[in-house]
Amino acid sequence: MAERLTLELATPARLVVSAEVDEVVVPGSQGYFGVLPGHAPLLATLGIGEVTYRVGRDEYHVAASGGFAEVRNDKVIILADVAETPADIDRARAERARDRAEGRLAGRAASQEEIDYTRAMCALARALTRIQVASRGQ
């Protein structure tokens, strides 16, 4: 069993993380799951949340949304629709997005389409994840 994992986290636009790590926690669409060296092969869709990876005692956080993760041969490949490190995140923009989404949810009329609610909930989840990742720093 390899002692470390190789993590590659990319979006269609760029490579966000390429590192040898000890552990990765992935925001799967069915919930968070952890990956350690020796993990069984796995293919999962991503939800909205924080990818956390640990190198020794240091933890790093990346906000991610949509896409998929594959675990195979001690390699974790995460292809996210969008992803930002703490340094990438414009916190004021995320706070505006959060306020917009909360306003939509609060003003939601009962007759509105379910899709509006789902969209607002997803926008809120993205914004809250960004605020959390930004507040953690690197």
Residues making contact with ligand ATP (CB under 6 A): 65, 82, 84, 88-90, 93-94, 97, 123, 126, 130
Nearer to ligand ATP, 7 or 133 (CB): 133
Residue 65 CB, nearest distance to ligand ATP (Å)? 6
- How far, in Å, CA of 107 to CA of 120, rounded? 11
Nearer to ligand ATP, 23 or 84 (CB): 84
Residue 41 CB, nearest distance to ligand ATP (Å)? 29
Contact by Cβ (8 Å): 83, 99: no
Residue 56 CB, nearest distance to ligand ATP (Å)? 28
Of 65, 64, 75, 9, the C-alpha closest to 41 is 75
Nearer to ligand ATP, 26 or 94 (CB): 94
Strand partners, 84: 63
- Name the residue type at position 111: S
Residue 67 CB, nearest distance to ligand ATP (Å)? 12
Nearer to ligand ATP, 37 or 118 (CB): 118
CA distances from residue 138 to 26, 46, 52, 72, 100 in whole angstroms, order as listed: 17, 22, 11, 27, 27
